Amino acid sequence: MTPTAPDNDSAGQLLQRMQESQADFVQTEFCDFIGVSRSRVVRSSAIGRDRQTNFPYVNIAHDMSDGEPDPEAMGPHTGSFWLTPDVSSYVPLPYLSRTGSVMCWLTNPDGSAYGGCARTKVRHLAGALAERGIRLRASFEPEGHTLVRLPGGQGWEPVSHGGIFTPERIAEQHAFIDKVVTVGDSMALDIEKVSMEAGGMVEFNLPPRDAVAACDAWLRFRQLFKAVAREFGWTGTFMPRVTTEGPTAGLHIHLSLTDDQGRDLSSDPVSGEMSDQCRFAIAGILTHAEAVVAACCNSVNSYKRLAAGNSWAPTNATWGVNNRSALVRLAPLRAALPAGAGSMNSGEFTAMSAHAFDRAWVTSLVS
């Protein structure tokens, strides 16, 4: 069954974007229940012929080994859902020849939202906050490993063994960093900072965006990081623990609440003390910490990071001001901001694993 056609000429808009970036292929993408990016590649000729931008996808759930954990509920006899591109999310993918990417809403044949579309859920929750005059913005701060195989294929080691935050480490991996940042710019990722973390890890900071766009950017950065690593003959991964000893990789998500004018809502404008809205937000996360962490850390490997003795990862449902061992960290206001720049106050959730399901993080944090 073909789904209800969109009201506007989305096929024409998508073709125009592809033509502008000289793309013949477009990856129609979404993120599944376990955090794996899935897509179908469609040629411009098919879009032009059919004038259709709704593409079927089998109603199936995969595990990490591409098995089918629930074939009765989601299997070959249960039909399809549809990938409906959000044309405004289109970007070129310079690391792939003549290819672009567009994020998709998941829909039923009648055009209604598919129950498993987390992108729709994020939009709904952000919209519910907006109706109360609250704007939610998010930014991601991932830590990734760059690894090479040991001789004989016996394990892995970091590309660089230099010291944490040292110029020497930056110099050793400058070509890789430059390629990630430069290609990221052409994908509208606008990477702001790069830090050389312990154990050969590299940390990148993406800028704050509205919730749906922030999730889209993170998914695309994850693919970019791995693609550029492959070009260098390395393996890029966001697995929390890749060796039995040494540092582990995490992912921090920064959340900020402002009004429609961009004014910070985390502190009282008169007293400067923490606002009730900020207290309520923290209390909600801590109250539902077990469920939130289950969504944000959805693999056994995640809990090799959230372990006693790792002072840089939380093991209890706590919050603190500028305390990086807490589950929720309040970042202090930066001094001497330019006039009109607004507050830099934000809350940081520190338990997440970067290979988990990005939209599940946001929906669990703001539900």
Q: Is residue 1 part of a domain?
A: no
Q: Is residue 2 part of a domain?
A: no
Average pLDDT of the residues of the chain: 85
pLDDT computed for residue 349 by the predictor: 61
Query: What is the spatial distance between Cα 39 and Cα 29, in angstroms, rounded to a whole number?
Result: 4
Report the candidate in 247, 65, 75 with the shortest Cα–Cα distance to residue 145: 247
Q: Are residues 260 and 361 in the same domain?
A: yes
Name residues of the chain where pLDDT drops below 50.
1-7, 334-345, 357, 361
According to DSSP, the β-strands at 156-158 and 80-85 are unpaired
pLDDT computed for residue 339 by the predictor: 34
pLDDT tens digits, 5-21? 444 589 999 999 999 99
Query: What is the spatial distance between Cα 52 and Cα 170, in angstroms, rounded to a whole number?
Result: 46
Last residue of a domain, one of 85, 116, 147: 116
Q: Are residues 27 and 161 in the same domain?
A: no
Q: Are residues 208 and 152 in the same domain?
A: yes
Report the candidate in 181, 174, 34, 40 with the shortest Cα–Cα distance to residue 101: 40
pLDDT tens digits, 21-50? 999 999 999 988 778 889 999 999 999 999
Q: Are residues 97 and 132 in the same domain?
A: no
Give the count of domains, the chain.
2
Q: Are residues 188 and 298 in the same domain?
A: yes
pLDDT computed for residue 3 by the predictor: 46
pTM exceeds 0.85: yes
Query: What is the spatial distance between Cα 221 and Cα 181, in angstroms, rounded to a whole number?
Result: 10
Q: Report DSSP letters for 242-286, one per residue.
A: SSSSS----EEEEEEEE-TT--B-SB-TTT-SBPHHHHHHHHHHH
Q: Are residues 261 and 309 in the same domain?
A: yes
Q: Is residue 50 part of a domain?
A: yes
pLDDT computed for residue 342 by the predictor: 32
Q: Is residue 32 part of a domain?
A: yes
pLDDT computed for residue 176 by the predictor: 97
pLDDT computed for residue 229 by the predictor: 97
Q: Is residue 3 part of a domain?
A: no
pLDDT computed for residue 56 by the predictor: 87
Q: Are residues 165 and 213 in the same domain?
A: yes
pLDDT computed for residue 92 by the predictor: 98
Domain that holds residue 304: 127-366
Which residues are within 8 A (CB) of 16 and not within 5 positions of it... i.e. 6 or more apart?
none
Q: Report DSSP letters for 233-254, one per residue.
A: T-EEE--S-SSSSS----EEEE
Residue bearing tokens 């809350």: 347
What are the Cα distances from residue 191, in Å, to 221, 267, 328, 367?
Answer: 9, 28, 24, 28
Q: Are residues 174 and 152 in the same domain?
A: yes
pLDDT computed for residue 329 by the predictor: 86
Q: Are residues 111 and 142 in the same domain?
A: no
Q: Are residues 182 and 303 in the same domain?
A: yes
pLDDT computed for residue 8 by the predictor: 53
Residue bearing tokens 């209800």: 4
Q: What is the CA radius of gyration of the chain?
A: 21
